[in-house]
């Protein structure tokens, strides 16, 4: 495997791990706060946490730049599709309003800011988790994009690797043929030289 492929692979896996870690940490914290407040878990948030956890394990397992990691490019594409689905499902909760949507105020912001302790949402600022929600959306998209690039890189690396392996036996075969041809021509010329030597002795 070419060094360039290996370096790019490690960089992408590291980025996937970081994105997944950020998402699982933020969503996991929210679920804990929601449980404290007695809220019903949003299935889209649960899906995001599960996907981020799977991506963490995957990026670690297929992190070393060996051939088996590149052969996993179909799984990379599946994770890309899964992340894009998660991103779409979560952003659909808030739409273009993001931190001004009813879902945000009545669910994410309410439980992130622990407003259930005061039975009000008169707490403004970062405690409502607006920045955290935007971070989840951003890194969900970036994680999906990273898995897409990994899928493309893996496919190209595997094709290049096996094409190189297929061409090597052909070169060996041609070299062997040339050696055999040279040996045959030398053996065919040998009787002529011997005949000349015999003729000279006879003379």
Confidence of residue 172 (pLDDT cuts 50, 70, 90): very low
133-148 pLDDT, tens per residue? 999 999 999 999 999 9
Asked if 80 contacts 147 with a C-beta cutoff of 8 angstroms, the reply is yes
22-41 pLDDT, tens per residue? 999 999 999 999 888 888 89
Kindly state whether residue 193 falls inside one of the protein's structural domains: no
The DSSP symbol for 114 reads T
Confidence of residue 112 (pLDDT cuts 50, 70, 90): confident
Kindly state whether residue 98 falls inside one of the protein's structural domains: yes
What residue spans of the chain are helical by DSSP H?
3-36, 43-61, 67-70, 73-94, 102-103, 109-112, 130-202
Q: What is the model's pLDDT at position 164?
A: 67
Calculate mean pLDDT across residues 48-54: 97
Positive or negative: CA dihedral 52, 58, 60, 65: negative
Calculate mean pLDDT across residues 88-117: 85
Confidence of residue 111 (pLDDT cuts 50, 70, 90): confident
Structural domains counted in the chain: 1
Lowest mean pLDDT among 24-33, 53-62, 101-110: 101-110
Kindly state whether residue 147 falls inside one of the protein's structural domains: yes
Kindly state whether residue 182 falls inside one of the protein's structural domains: no
Kindly state whether residue 27 falls inside one of the protein's structural domains: yes
Kindly state whether residue 118 falls inside one of the protein's structural domains: yes
More confident residue, 193 or 83: 83
Kindly state whether residue 162 falls inside one of the protein's structural domains: yes
Q: What is the model's pLDDT at position 186?
A: 47
Kindly state whether residue 59 falls inside one of the protein's structural domains: yes
Task: Give the domain range for residue 87.
Answer: 3-167
Positive or negative: CA dihedral 119, 120, 125, 126: positive
Contacts 24+ apart (CB under 8 A), 2-10: 2/157, 2/160, 5/65, 5/70, 5/153, 5/156, 5/157, 5/160, 6/65, 7/65, 8/153, 9/65, 9/69, 9/70, 9/150, 9/153, 9/154, 9/157, 10/63, 10/65
């Amino acid at each position: 495997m070419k060094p360039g492929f290996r370096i790019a692979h490690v960089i992408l896996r590291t980025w996937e791990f970081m994105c997944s870690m950020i998402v699982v940490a933020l969503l996991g914290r929210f679920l804990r706060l929601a449980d404290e407040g007695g809220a019903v878990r949003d299935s889209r948030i649960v899906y995001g946490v599960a996907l981020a956890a799977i991506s963490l394990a995957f990026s670690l397992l297929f992190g070393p730049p060996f051939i088996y990691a590149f052969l996993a490019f179909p799984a990379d594409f599946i994770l890309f599709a899964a992340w894009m689905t998660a991103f779409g499902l979560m952003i659909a909760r808030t739409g273009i309003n993001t931190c001004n949507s009813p879902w945000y105020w009545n669910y994410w912001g309410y439980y992130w800011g622990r407003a259930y302790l005061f039975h009000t949402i008169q707490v403004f600022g970062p405690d409502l988790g607006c920045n955290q929600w935007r971070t989840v959306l951003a890194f969900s998209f970036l994680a999906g994009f990273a898995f897409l690039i990994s899928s493309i890189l893996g496919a190209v690396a595997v094709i290049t690797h096996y094409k190189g392996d297929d061409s090597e036996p052909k070169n060996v075969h041609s070299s062997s043929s040339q050696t055999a041809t040279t040996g045959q021509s030398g053996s065919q010329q040998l009787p002529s030289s011997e005949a000349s030597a015999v003729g000279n002795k006879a003379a």
